Amino acid sequence: MLNPKVNGTKISYYFICHRKLWLFDRQLQFESDFNAVEEGKFISETTYPDKHHEIKLSDGAVLDFYDKRHKIVHEVKKSDKMEEAHLWQLKYYLYYLKSSGVTDVTGKLDYPKLKKTLQVELTKDDEQKIQGIFEDMTVIVNQENTPERLNKKFCKTCAYYEFCWA
């Protein structure tokens, strides 16, 4: 079953940093978020210039490219440093489509700059795991206090860096 409070971005933040998820859920967004979104859009638009293949989901997310003929959702990313987060974001989209009645769809995680593509499928175990993630996310975003900071290298490129570390 879908959770109306979840979207692909939140799923990826769940895998990156719970504090980031908590802040994003409260709609705290900073300038660098918008820059990252613009850059992502540029990579996606130049990789798949035909925008007719985009699909807008009811949670507001736009799938980068949906190949209707082969039933493949493509998710385009700049780097593979956060691959687990990207993978589950795409699995979530497959789950979303399946829950909405669009079945037998697979995914491809595309890294045009690295000339790398990963095939992605949604298994029964993944569906169960996604349900567990929904439950976990609900607990995290309803926490009264901001989750603890991570002290990771990637904090330096996070939109919330100044908020967390200044």
Question: Which residues of this protein are in contact with ligand SF4, per CB under 6 A?
Answer: 17, 19-20, 149-150, 155, 158, 160-161, 164
Place of tokens 């998820």: 21
The answer to whether the CB of 80 falls within 8 A of the CB of 111 is yes
Report in angstroms how near the CB of residue 93 gets to ligand SF4 at its nearest. Answer: 23
What span, in angstroms and rounded, lies between the C-alpha atoms of 126 and 124? 5
Q: Which is nearer to ligand SF4, 121 or 136 (CB)?
A: 136
What is the strand order of the sheet 72-76 is part of?
65-67, 72-76, 106-111, 116-120
Q: Which is nearer to ligand SF4, 85 or 105 (CB)?
A: 85
Report in angstroms how near the CB of residue 119 gets to ligand SF4 at its nearest. Answer: 28
Q: Which is nearer to ligand SF4, 61 or 164 (CB)?
A: 164
Rounded to whole angstroms, what are the CA distances from 81 to 56, 75, 85, 135, 154? 26, 15, 9, 26, 9
Q: Which is nearer to ligand SF4, 21 or 90 (CB)?
A: 21
Report in angstroms how near the CB of residue 73 gets to ligand SF4 at its nearest. Answer: 26
Report in angstroms how near the CB of residue 96 gets to ligand SF4 at its nearest. Answer: 25
Local structure of 128: helix, strand or coil = helix
The answer to whether the CB of 133 falls within 8 A of the CB of 146 is no
